[in-house]
Structure 1
Amino acid sequence: MASGIRAEIKIDDPPDCVVAKVAAEADGRIHSVSKSTNPSAPERVTEEFMLEADSYPDEFDVDADLSPVFSYGSSSVYRFERDLDCGCPCESVERYDCPVVDVRAKGATLYMTFHAPDMQGLQAVIGELRENYANLDVQRLLQSQQDHDERNLVFVDRSMLTDRQLEVLETAHRMGYFEHPKRANAGEIAAELGITGTTFTEHLAAAQTKLLKAILDHD
């Protein structure tokens, strides 16, 4: 059986996403996003989405030529074309051979779901997204396992730690501080780092607090 990871993420106000901009201007919801390529123009992509809103602007202030193509009562389907390599969030994911299986938007917030083959692949995708979108939030991770039902995973963002906190953790781990029995005590690790024992314990406590909060506060 598969052992991949299903990731559900959100990005607030991505600057290069037509879908999120339209949802924000209409103060509505977008779903049923789809796209296709034209064999005669492989460098272009056609996208469609369904917008649900109480009212619709006459024009949208987006860098795309939107065309209404269908209406479902209070919902409308729009279509537009874009360049294949526009640098949008979906392409950042798909660059790692991880198709985006669901795209939605509510207001200026974009929601995306994709499947990564493993944790290493997931970290690569999330790493690139964070470089481009500082307000990325990993909402939910699910892992399928051969002998277990799907269970929640927690993606711990190492950027929450300062460089010094990360160095303290890595050195403590490398020297066996967390092993039982310990291979090194606090004084030995502090000496290796060139800091006092008090400073070592302060950095270690701060780092552990951040990591435990990310793990234990996960819904």
Structure 2
Amino acid sequence: MGSGIRAELKVDADGTCPVTQAAASAGSPTFSVSRSTDPSGSGEITEEFMLEDAALDGAPEVDTELETVFTYGSKTVYRFSRPRGQSCPCDCIEQFDCPVVDVHTRDGLLYLVFHAADMAELQGVITSLREQYSSVDIQRLLRSRGDSADHDLVFVDRGHLTDRQREVLETAHRMGYFERPKGANAGDVADELGISPSTFAEHLSAAQSKLLDAILED
């Protein structure tokens, strides 16, 4: 079996995505999102999505023209076309040769699933998205190890730490505070940082809480 990483990202598309606009208009999630490229080479993308739209009076309000394709009771399939590269998170991901394999919305946010070859490629995708969108969060990572079992990966975003919290962690780690037996106690690390032991404890506790939230979040 091959190796790689399966990633699910949550992106705030900030009103630029017709799918999330439709979900917001209907007050309902969208699902069964699919995309296809014009085989003529025009670069035009056609997208379809299904919406639970029982509360809507007509089509959802979006900034592009929607075509009604099919209706299943309270569910409707809509279709629209757009140029490739028109401020779309899916296009941003696929610039890295990572096809988006699943798209859905929830609470006005876009959830995207794709496969990256390795952590470097994944980091490139996330960095590119964060340059364009205000909020990009990692929901789940799975790594294939070449066997039948998937292994959970946790992507810890160090940007959630303040500069001081990161300095406290780095200094404590460098001085052996987390080793057993300890290479330095709290007072030693606090002296090195030029702060009181109680302030060191506060920064350390806050930083550890953020890291544990990322590691243990379901």
Instruction: Give the TM interval when normalised to the shorter protein.
Output: 0.7 to 0.9
Percent sequence identity over aligned pairs:
57
Give the partner amino acid of 1:65: E
Q: 2:108 aligned with 1:78, yes or no?
A: no
Aligned to 1:101: 101
1:116-135 CA-partner distances (Å, limit 9, x unpaired)? 22233323323333444444
User: Could you tell me how far apart the structure 2 residues matched to 1:93 and 1:182 are?
Assistant: 44
State the SS of the aligned residue for 2:145. Answer: coil
Give the partner amino acid of 2:139: Q
Give the partner amino acid of 1:54: A
> How many positions carry a matched residue from both structures?
218
User: Could you tell me how far apart the structure 1 residues matched to 2:147 and 2:181 are?
Assistant: 32
Aligned residues of 2:85 and 2:92 also touching (Cα < 8 A): no
1:48-87 CA-partner distances (Å, limit 9, x unpaired)? 2222321444344322111123333433222211121112
Aligned to 1:33: 33
User: Could you tell me how far apart the structure 2 residues matched to 1:195 and 1:107 are?
Assistant: 43
For 1:162-181, what aligned pairs fall within 5 Å after superposition? 162-181=162-181
Aligned residues of 2:34 and 2:48 also touching (Cα < 8 A): yes
1:25 Cα deviation (Å)? 0.9
Report the CA distance shift for 1:150/1:86 in structure 2 as closer, same or farther (over 3 A): same
For 1:1-219, what aligned pairs fall within 5 Å after superposition? 1-12=1-12, 14-40=14-40, 42-106=42-106, 108-147=108-147, 149-183=149-183, 186=186, 189-216=189-216, 218-219=217-218
Aligned residues of 1:27 and 1:106 also touching (Cα < 8 A): no
Q: CA RMSD in A?
A: 2.8
State the SS of the aligned residue for 1:86. Answer: coil
Aligned residues of 2:12 and 2:134 also touching (Cα < 8 A): no
Aligned residues of 1:93 and 1:100 also touching (Cα < 8 A): yes
Give the partner amino acid of 2:43: E
What TM-score do you get using the length of structure 1 for normalisation? 0.81
Give the partner amino acid of 2:98: C
1:33 Cα deviation (Å)? 1.8
Report the CA distance shift for 1:28/1:185 in structure 2 as closer, same or farther (over 3 A): closer
User: Could you tell me how far apart the structure 2 residues matched to 1:188 and 1:107 are?
Assistant: 47
Comparing 12-21 with 94-103, which one deviates more in the overlay? Answer: 12-21
1:19-67 CA-partner distances (Å, limit 9, x unpaired)? 0111221223322222222244533222222223214443443221111
Comparing 33-42 with 193-202, which one deviates more in the overlay? Answer: 193-202
Aligned residues of 1:24 and 1:106 also touching (Cα < 8 A): no
State the SS of the aligned residue for 2:204. Answer: helix
Report the CA distance shift for 1:27/1:13 in structure 2 as closer, same or farther (over 3 A): farther
What TM-score do you get using the length of structure 2 for normalisation? 0.82
User: Could you tell me how far apart the structure 1 residues matched to 2:39 and 2:113 are?
Assistant: 27
